[in-house]
Structures are given as C-alpha cells and as structure tokens.
Structure 1
Amino acid sequence: MCLWIEAEELNSANCKTRVQACTSIAKLRSPVNKDICNKLIHMMWNDWNCAVRHAAALALSELNEAREMHNKQYLHSAKLEEGPTAWRVEALILIGQLKIMTPKLLPTFLRCFNDDFVTVRKQACLTAASLMMKDQSILNQLINLMQNEPIWEVKVEAINALKKIGWMNTALRELLMWAVHHEEEPSVRIAACEALRTSDAKGPELQHFLQERYALEPNAEVQRHIKGLLKKHGYSLQADERKIHEIKLQVELLCTKHIITQKVLLIEEMGKQQQHKLLY
C-alpha cells in the first residue's frame, strides 16, 4: 500500500511532492517493479523540475534493478552528443549521481573530455570523480586535460578527479611534481600538491624537490600546501642553503635588465640575419 501511494505521488503536479516520493521510494526495502523504475528513469531525463530530475536519479542509484534497466534502454541516449550544452552537462551530472557506466555509454562519455565547451569538459571531470572508475581510457583523458587543457579550472578538476579515484604511479607522480613547479595558476599548483598527498612514495628526490619548492614558491597558499607535504613525509623544511642561494642568484641574474636587453638584441640580430639569407 505504501509503495502504491508513493508511485501515485510521482505523478503529482507539485514538484516537492514528486521529490519526496522519489526520496521515499529510494528508502523502501521492498522490491520495486519495472513500471516504477521506468517512471523514475523517465522523470530523471524529462521532468521539468531540476530537483525532481536529480531526486529520481538518486532513487535509481539505490535500486538493484536500476543497472539492467538503465543499460538496456536509456544510457545509450544520454543526451551527451546532441542538443544544447546544458543538456550534456546535466546528463553528466545525472550519470555521476547514478554512478553507473556501461560499455555503450563509455565512448560517448570519453568524447565529453574533448568537448568544445568548458562547462562540459569540467563536468566530465566531476563525473569521472563520482564514478571513481580506474578505467585506463578515463584516466588517460584526465591526464591529457591535466597536461594540455588551456583553462585552469578544468585542469584543477582533472587533477582532483585523479586524486579521488586514487590512481597513482611513478609517471603521474612526476607529472604532478612538474605541475607544482611550472604551472602558472596557484590553484593548479595547490591541486597538484593535494594529489601528491595521496602518494606513499618517499625518497631523496622527492625530499629535495619539496624543500626547494618550499624555499622558492612565491605564493603563500601554495607554500602552505608544500609545507604540509614536507611535514606529512617527516622532511625538514630546510633545504641545502648553499644550493638554494645559487638558484636564487641565477633567477635574479636572468631577470636583470642587462641580461634581458642582451637577449632582445640577440633575437633582433638573428632575425636580421635570417631576413638577409632569404633576400640573397
């Protein structure tokens, strides 16, 4: 009787009632029939109210029948390839809430990491983090965004997804260290530091790297995260003072007006010589 009442309320004109019905059905311990599953799936994709769509997705994620129904009938048409950008973003959100990925959907999902729109690429990373799948094709897409994405917000989400998935090897650790050293945006460097915290690797190379970055890092917030990494591994905050001093002198030397002027003049002279060769 209770299930029948909840099923009826899925058709209510009041969106709050529909949300409550989805929430209640998700908590029921009794089996849920195919008709209710179909209704929830239809609501997840088509209800006019965003809260209802998300509540239906969350309800489906709690039902044992959801994977089979979803795989057979709906996931292959997840609106990831057609329609407005907002549809693709919401489809990714719903898939993340369902925490279900199928062989039919995977190729379409992977293409979202290379979508023309930033919001889609960013949500693809967030969905990957929700799925927590150590599928190599998904990991490759995240690593590619971490290295080549022009928008720093997307880079941050790609790194955060790799951290949440919990996949770490020597190559990824080196890429994260590169990001801590070379990325211009502090938020990306911070995300790389946080991802490195999930690594259990220790050794002189990592110690020297972190100590040097701590001494040379210009951003106070990034420096605080590097300090946390040093403390986590039990390393001293002090590096080889002589080596650090030499590095700072080299940086200062390369930034002097005299050196910069010399480089500009050299580039101009090389340009003139190249032009002369082309003329004669």
Structure 2
Amino acid sequence: MLQLLLLLLLLLMLLLLLLLLLLMLLLLQLLLLLLLLLPLLILLELLLLLLLLLLLPLLLLLLLLLLLLLLLLLLLPTTAKATALLLLLLPLLLLLRLLLLLLRLLLLLLLHCYCYYFTTTTTTTTTTITTTTPTTSTTTTPTTSPTTTTSCLTNTTATCTTTTSTTTTTTTTTTTTTTTTTTTTTTTTTTTTTTTTTTTTTSTTTTTTTTTYYYYYYYYYYYYYYYYYYYFYYYYYYYYYYYYCCCYYYYYYYYYYYYYNYYYYYYYYYCYCYYYFVYYCYYFFYYYYFCYYYYYYYYYYYSYFYYY
C-alpha cells in the first residue's frame, strides 16, 4: 500500500513537472519571438530581462522537484524503478531544452545589436599662386570669387565631398616714365615716353572636405544553429535582414534630411524595406514603425549633442 501511494505521488509530481516545463518552454518561445520581432525597443528588452530573472527561481524549483522525484525513486521496488526512470526521461529532456532556450534568450539580451553610424572628416587645402611679370605696384584691385561644389552620397558610395574654391585675382598696373633730352646748338628737345605694364596675379585656394559615412550592423552569430535547429533559421534570417534594412533606411533618411530635406526619399526607402520584407513577417510594418521612432529619437539626440 505504501509503495502504491509512493507511485501515485511520483506520477502526480511528474505530471506537475511536465506541465511546468511545458509552460516555461511556451513562455520562453514567445519571449524569443517577441525579441526577434521587436529588437529595437529598449523598454521591451528590459521587461524581457526582468521576466527571465523571475523565471530563474521557478527553474530552481523545478530542479528541486526533480531531485525529490529521484529520492522517491529510490524508495520504489526494483521492478518499478525501470518504469519510473523512463517516465523521468521526458522531463529531463524538457528541462535540458529549457536551459538551452533560456541561455539563448539571455545571450540575445546581453549581446543586443543596434545600428550606429559615425563620420570621419578629412580636410585638404591646396593653394596655388601664379604671378606673371613681377613689377612695382601702383594700383591694386583685388577680386574674390568663391565657388562651392558638393558631390554627395549615391546608392553605392558613402562619401560626401565638399570642395570650396576661392580665386583671388589681383591686377597691378605699373607706369614707367622715360625722359629723353636732346640738346642742339639752337634748341633743346625733351621727349617723355610713358610705358604702362599690367600684371595679373591669380591666387587659387581650394579646400576639399571629404566626409565618409559608415553604416554597419551587428547580428548574432547563430550560423551553427542553422544546422542543429533548422526551424529557427527563419527567425535568424528575418532578424539579419531586419537590421540591415533599419540601417539602410536610416542611413538614407539621415543623408537626405541633412542635405536636401527631402522627406519623400525617406518614405520611399521606408516603404521599400516594408515591401521587401513583408514576406518574412505580416506585422513588419507595425514593428518597423517603432523602429522608425526609436531611430528618429536617436538621430535627434545625436544632432542636438553635435550642435551643442
């Protein structure tokens, strides 16, 4: 009778352990999906991290329950131990799967990826002075004609070059007077010859500022999981292109906003990303909407800090 009660208690605890493990697996799968679909919301990430921390005591409780089941297993007769071990095999596998999933979620939160950009500016100044016929100046008329040309980013390059060319033309007029005196026995003749020489000095100063914009992205290196967990490939594939798209559209948004203030270009690339990746997630537009606001805030903060 005692053995029968122990066996029933073992079965009930085993059923409770299975239910808790399945519940935790479902919850972690949902958290993983949310984290992959909404990777840019910092608040959500903090909430997910808090939930994971709350799940740790529950996981410890499951381990204690499993140890208690093993102790009860020792009290069973030899004939019932083999059956109990087989029944405990499934919770052990689920618990191992739960630990792996929890570890992956923690890595996702700790190794989170954001898109950044930074600029490097190189300024080159070239001064060319050309002078013809050096003479003594009597009249100087300087004229300056600055011109600025900008060659900026295209679809394939990330370099914006601004060339400022300032040409200063100085006109120098030199007057040379030659006096010739001819004396004869009867008259004295004085001949004055005036020679005017115009010299033009051209000074050209060219300043070239080259600003290179770097946009890059980090993504999680889960290539090994492609071979072991093939059904997760869809999430990682979407996740990789999701970040690429965010960086791509944000880069063009910043460029066109800063130089031309063309908002419709931003909208074009925004929709381009949406239509291109709608195959991977039906709610992509909704999540991308949050992505836009997050990066708009980041850009505004960066601009304010830069100008400040």
TM-score by length of 1: 0.26
Higher relative contact order (CA 8 A, sep 6+): 2
Higher relative strand content: 2
Q: Which protein is bigger by CA-based radius of gyration? A: 2
